[in-house]
Amino acid sequence: MQGKYKETWRALEHLYSEKRVRSIGVSNFLVHHLKDLLSDCQTIPMINQVEFHPRLFQPTLLDFCRSESIQMEAWSPIMRGKVMEISQLVSIGEKYGKSPVQITLRWDLQQRVVTIPKSAKQHRIIANADIFDFELSADEMALIDQLDRGERVGPDPDNFNF
Ligand SMILES: NC(=O)c1ccc[n+]([C@@H]2O[C@H](COP(=O)([O-])OP(=O)(O)OC[C@H]3O[C@@H](n4cnc5c(N)ncnc54)[C@H](OP(=O)(O)O)[C@@H]3O)[C@@H](O)[C@H]2O)c1
């Protein structure tokens, strides 16, 4: 994998230098993968798409991406619906008239993390976008940060055969 992603990255850099793609990025890269790539690349990835949600906050990875101007993007941002069961998110949501999913997606935005929740249902797609009429307080942001348990709903990038 370590050898493979550098070769792949060089191909993406080539496409970028030829202006055949507007931006290039990586997915499921942890800090050590990024450091390894950054030590040996010409173009820094513009985005890193990783599993990211209140039960998998990864502040070290987030800080590292921010320091290198790599945009973080959250996949499975609502834990495939499981954030609905987190009582602290239910409580915060009651204050704003929002669901735990909407609170989670608002937390992403205020963390400056691009978020890509998926739904096949029109009413959920509309509800998931209805997060621009309220703002979480600093205390609420900190409370959500503390829900982290290092819990994944998808594969662990360090223990997966990509
Ligand atoms: N780069 C990677 O390795 C990687 C890995 C996994 C996923 N992804 C990408 O990340 C995106 C999202 O990830 P994901 O689909 O795994 O997880 P997700 O967005 O956290 O959850 C999607 C699930 O949540 C349900 N849902 C959506 N809105 C809801 C709401 N308001 N209330 C309750 N349930 C709701 C959906 O069901 P309904 O459709 O029934 O609404 C669907 O089953 C996908 O586009 C996927 O391609 C990338």
How far, in Å, CA of 137 to CA of 147, rounded? 16
| Contact of 73 with 115, CB cutoff 8 Å | yes
Instruction: For residues 116 and 113, give the distance between their C-alpha atoms in angstroms, rounded to a whole number.
Output: 10
pTM equals: 0.96
CA-nearest residue for atom 44, ligand 1, is: 118
Confidence of residue 162 (pLDDT cuts 50, 70, 90): low
Ligand 1 atom at minimum distance from 27 CA: 1
Model confidence at 85, pLDDT cuts 50, 70, 90, reads: very high
Ligand 1 pocket, CB under 6 A: 27-28, 49, 75-81, 84, 101, 116-121, 124, 127-128, 154
Tokens in use for 112? 């400056």
What would you report as the CA-atom Rg of the chain, rounded to the nearest whole angstrom? 17
- When pLDDT is averaged across residues 121-140 and rounded to a whole number, the result is 98
Mean pLDDT of the chain: 96
pLDDT digits (tens, 9 = 90+) for 45-64: 999 999 999 999 999 999 99
Asked whether the predicted pLDDT for residue 1 surpasses 70, the reply is: no
